[in-house]
Amino acid sequence: MGTLRCRNESAIEGAQAVSLTEWQRWGTSSPVPAMVNQVIDDLRVLTRDADTRMCFGGLGGKPQGNFRIQEDIRHREVYQSLTESEEKLQFFAARQIACRLLGSRGYLCQKCWIAMEDCMCSMLVPCIPCMKIRFWVYMHPKDFLRQNNTGKLLWQLFGVQAASLCLFGIHEHEEIMWDAFRAAGRRLVWFLYPNQNTSPKSVKDIFFNSSLTDPEGEKMDQKKLNFVLIDGTWSNSAAMYRRLKERWAATWGEKDPPCISLSSTGASVMHKLRPQPGWDRTCTAAAAGGLLSELHHHPVLQSHGLDKHAENVENALDVLLKSLTARRLRMGRSINRKERHNNCI
């Protein structure tokens, strides 16, 4: 058997805790999650006790070799020792993120999350965000630092204050998001999600009660519309939505959070490249672009150039697709997505 080669071994060596500077370079303005650094500390102790070295590779920068075996044993022990479901979720999220951070050090570009030799940052042009809108990219930990993730494009284009990353199960991130919701008020928070329990509203319904021209007048006009984009696989997004729903009920006493669906969502350009997204779903960035396009038609927002912002998102998706395609070709991988035959028995 050949010698196991670890990704970015020199960057992993020592497994230093994540500094505030390093953390925020990945696309967030939040403090470093305490549990993420705790997991890294535990991994460092594990390598010492098991007389092994950290090794990461493959999709998501997963542990490899003997380190993988030892880490799997240890994390299962920790998980089973936790009694509360919330503790289990927070540990799961922190472990996913810690391993992805360590496995990506010195390998991925911290801005575009693509391998450094294929970095696409020079091809993206940031734009001035609309001061009336704030996106919250509510991301599953398994999508964090994925090269084909599209939610990252939003803060690359509009900045981390206009498009904020919120990681599912990370306490610090979720508290920042809900604090912002409480400050804005429930009428200025919307979830882009096709709620199956009630009839989802359209973008036009956002202004049915004239949130932006509320009787409170000028004070309301100074606030932002908050839009939550659930960024994860379709199966993971169901659990993410349930968590949002529970928190909404606890915060405002309403059973269902306000969900909207876009009137039309064409296939994302990312459909041209496998393995995701599914043919019947659109990607996060494409959904944001569609939302911006529909918001542009409201009289209150027509002067903010949201149609241009939607176009910028589409262009960014083209850049991402081009970069990922070139990378796959360079590595000798297929770029053709296979047809799904869901109607076959």
Tell me what the pLDDT averaged over the chain comes to.
84
- Cβ-in-10-Å burial (0-12, 13-18, 19+) of 51 comes to exposed
| Residues 91 and 141 occupy one common structural domain | no
In a domain, 3, yes or no: no
In a domain, 335, yes or no: no
Predicted confidence (pLDDT) per residue in 35-64, tens digit: 999 999 999 888 888 888 888 877 767 888
Is there a contact between 85 and 93 (Cβ–Cβ < 8 Å)?
no
DSSP 317-331: HHHHHHHHHHHHHHT
Cα dist. 228→142, 278, 291, 304 in Å?
A: 18, 21, 11, 20
| Residues 258 and 307 occupy one common structural domain | yes
pLDDT band at residue 265, thresholds of 50, 70 and 90?
Answer: low
| Residues 245 and 314 occupy one common structural domain | yes
CB atoms < 10 A from the CB of 310, how many?
Answer: 20
Q: CA 258 to CA 251: how far, in whole Å? A: 13
- Cβ-in-10-Å burial (0-12, 13-18, 19+) of 151 comes to buried
Q: Give yes or no for a cis peptide into 277 (omega within 30° of 0).
A: yes
**Residues 229, 291, 218: CA angle, nearest 5 degrees:** 95
The amino acid sitting at 77 is: E
Supply the pLDDT for residue 221. Answer: 55
Supply the pLDDT for residue 212. Answer: 52
| Residues 273 and 131 occupy one common structural domain | yes
Supply the pLDDT for residue 344. Answer: 35
Supply the pLDDT for residue 323. Answer: 93
Task: Taking residues 209-237, report their average pLDDT.
Answer: 71
| Residues 18 and 131 occupy one common structural domain | no
Could you tell me how far CA 57 lies from the centroid of its own chain?
A: 21
Is the predicted pLDDT of residue 139 greater than 70, yes or no?
Answer: yes
| Residues 172 and 281 occupy one common structural domain | yes
Supply the pLDDT for residue 61. Answer: 74
69-78, 150-159, 188-197: lowest mean pLDDT where?
188-197
Supply the pLDDT for residue 207. Answer: 60
Q: Which residue carries 């540990």 as its tokens? A: 91
Is there a contact between 167 and 141 (Cβ–Cβ < 8 Å)?
yes
DSSP 338: P
pLDDT band at residue 266, thresholds of 50, 70 and 90?
Answer: low
Is there a contact between 166 and 173 (Cβ–Cβ < 8 Å)?
yes
pLDDT band at residue 109, thresholds of 50, 70 and 90?
Answer: very high
Q: What's the number of domains the chain is made of?
A: 2
Supply the pLDDT for residue 112. Answer: 96
325: tokens are 């395609």
pLDDT band at residue 313, thresholds of 50, 70 and 90?
Answer: very high
Supply the pLDDT for residue 76. Answer: 92
Which of 69, 104, 139 finishes a domain? 104
In a domain, 82, yes or no: yes
Collapse the DSSP code of 169 into the 3-class scheme (helix H, G, I; strand E, B; otherwise coil) and give the result.
coil
Is the predicted pLDDT of residue 210 greater than 50, yes or no?
Answer: no
| Residues 293 and 326 occupy one common structural domain | yes
Residues of the domain holding 161: 117-330
Provide the sign of the torsion angle of the four alpha carbons 93, 94, 99, 100, taken in this order.
Answer: positive
Is there a contact between 28 and 165 (Cβ–Cβ < 8 Å)?
yes
